[in-house]
Amino acid sequence: MYHELRKRGTSRMAIDEHRRDSWPNRLRGALRVLLGHTDIAAGTGGAPPAIDRERTHPQGPLIEQLIGGLPAPAIVLDREARVIAFNEAATSIAPALRRGEPALIVLRMPELVDAIRRAGTRREPQRVEFFERVPLDRWFEAFVTPVRLATGGDGHYDILLMTFNDLSPLRRVEEMRADFVANASHELRTPLAALLGFVETLQGPAKDDPVAREKFLAIMQGQATRMARLIDDLLSLSRIELNAHLPPNTPVELAPIVRQVVDGLQTLARDRGVEIKVTAPAEPLIVLGDRDELVRALENLVENALKYGAAGKRVDITLTRARTRADTPEAHIAVRDYGPGIAPEHLPRLTERFYRVDVADSRAQGGTGLGLALVKHVLNRHGGRLSIESTLGAGASFAMHLPLRTGEPAETGELS
Ligand SMILES: Nc1ncnc2c1ncn2[C@@H]1O[C@H](COP(=O)(O)OP(=O)(O)OP(=O)(O)O)[C@@H](O)[C@H]1O
Ligand SMILES: [Mg+2]
């Protein structure tokens, strides 16, 4: 019956059904109800149920009030699978919902239609999961529950109560967790395989070769350091995530942080032939923050500029006072390089864990793709954000936005 109805198209249906809403049809409908058949269950190929827009279900308004109070989408059908009532949330799943119309037309998900049929025939609750691609990828579970309502006196009638849960956030977390475990194991397995390979070589063919031993031990040290760094980054990320709901409350001045990071990375800058230029205002810019986390985040940005933007030979770090769109004061720490830049399609994904534009290049530089994820989490915890601007071929600019502390001056002890 569902397919039969679909072929007709909804608008055509409405006209046909008005015409068909004759006495014999009404009688047949009434008999069906009296005999306990439902159109959902019947599937006999008989005439489709009549649509009567004027028809109001006796308990319709009451049911509507009841499900109107539910936060989750809910739709109630009569025993002929016509819509009696639905709440606001349900329109996000089925925008075409209309009272009095057959649900099998407005709900186009085949799994759901089958569940409605089964619930009608078996008179047992049904649970189904379905997936929607448009307008967004979303997963839902639906419960279709036959309910027998007493109407007062001896009468009763059956309805189908449909409720929906949006499973999308759960699914996404599941996917992310699976991806995360796969990525983390892969990143650990590569250096581990290299280490085992060298251990075997040192035990066997290179046993008595002191030159090879020195060379291999140096490589092994590099691989072990990489594994240690990966584990360290993963632990830092999970620690920051654990504390995400606890905003840091120590006043921290930003200029000394910039200086500390630049001093720490001078060796790398010299190695890469890059000159770092720092601009900071004379006034102190103070945020409520966790000093170590801020150092770590800025270190990642400057290190990236030195590693991936070295071709530009110059990195500018600019600390400025600015205002948010909501007109509250904030500090910007922008790290600008003049290297190859990043293509626009990569920008939205850069802060995902393990995401790298060029995996081989990042690995060659000892990277694991966790740096920007860490920066993002640190900034989130500080109530700030990361902004990225880049033009392919003209370098990139990564800016940390941090809400400025308002109120009493910072304790100097915290600032050194
Ligand atoms: N300034 C930049 N110029 C060009 N590409 C960049 C720049 N900064 C980051 N990227 C790209 O973004 C990717 C992700 O950076 P991220 O800091 O998260 O990881 P990583 O540097 O590869 O590893 P890690 O930071 O863990 O050592 C890098 O691999 C690189 O491809
Ligand atoms: Mg990095």
Q: What is the mean pLDDT of the chain?
A: 82
Confidence of residue 18 (pLDDT cuts 50, 70, 90): very low
**Is 309 near ligand 1, meaning CB less than 6 Å away?**
yes
- Contacts of residue 220, Cβ cutoff 8 Å, sequence gap at least 6: 194, 195, 198, 199
Q: Which atom of ligand 1 is nearest to the CA of 233?
A: 26
272 and 151, same structural domain? no
Among 34-38, 68-72, 404-408, name the most confident range.
68-72
In the chain, the largest separation of any two C-alpha atoms, in whole Å, equals: 103
- The parent domain of residue 205 ranges over 170-242
268 and 174, same structural domain? no
Neighbours of ion ligand 2 (CB under 5 A): 300, 304, 371
- Number of domains within the chain: 3
85 contacts 161 by C-beta, under 8 angstroms: no
Closest ligand to 303 CA?
Answer: 2
CB atoms within 10 A of CB 172: 12
Task: List the residue whose alpha carbon is closest to atom 29 of ligand 1.
Answer: 356
Domain with residue 278: its CATH number is 3.30.565.10
Listed residues 242, 263, 292: the one ending a domain: 242
Q: Is 130 left (phi over 0), alpha (psi -120 to 50) or beta?
A: beta
**Is 38 near ligand 1, meaning CB less than 6 Å away?**
no
**Is 17 near ligand 1, meaning CB less than 6 Å away?**
no
Domain with residue 185: its CATH number is 1.10.287.130
369 and 256, same structural domain? yes
Average pLDDT, integer, range 206-228: 91
CA distance 386 to 332: 10
pLDDT for the residue 120? 85
**Is 312 near ligand 1, meaning CB less than 6 Å away?**
no
150 and 251, same structural domain? no
324 and 186, same structural domain? no
CA distance 331 to 334: 10
More confident residue, 370 or 133: 370
Candidate from 234, 276, 304 with most ligand 1 atoms within 8 A of CB, to mutate: 304
**Is 300 near ligand 1, meaning CB less than 6 Å away?**
yes
- Contacts of residue 298, Cβ cutoff 8 Å, sequence gap at least 6: 257, 258, 261, 333, 335, 400
Listed residues 135, 166, 197: the one ending a domain: 166
CA of 216 to the centre of ligand 1 (A): 28
**Is 342 near ligand 1, meaning CB less than 6 Å away?**
yes
pLDDT by residue (tens digit) across 134-146?
767 889 999 999 9
What pTM was estimated for this model as a whole?
A: 0.65
Task: List the residue whose alpha carbon is closest to atom 8 of ligand 1.
Answer: 304
Q: Which atom of ligand 1 is nearest to the CA of 358?
A: 31
**Is 397 near ligand 1, meaning CB less than 6 Å away?**
no
Confidence of residue 50 (pLDDT cuts 50, 70, 90): very low
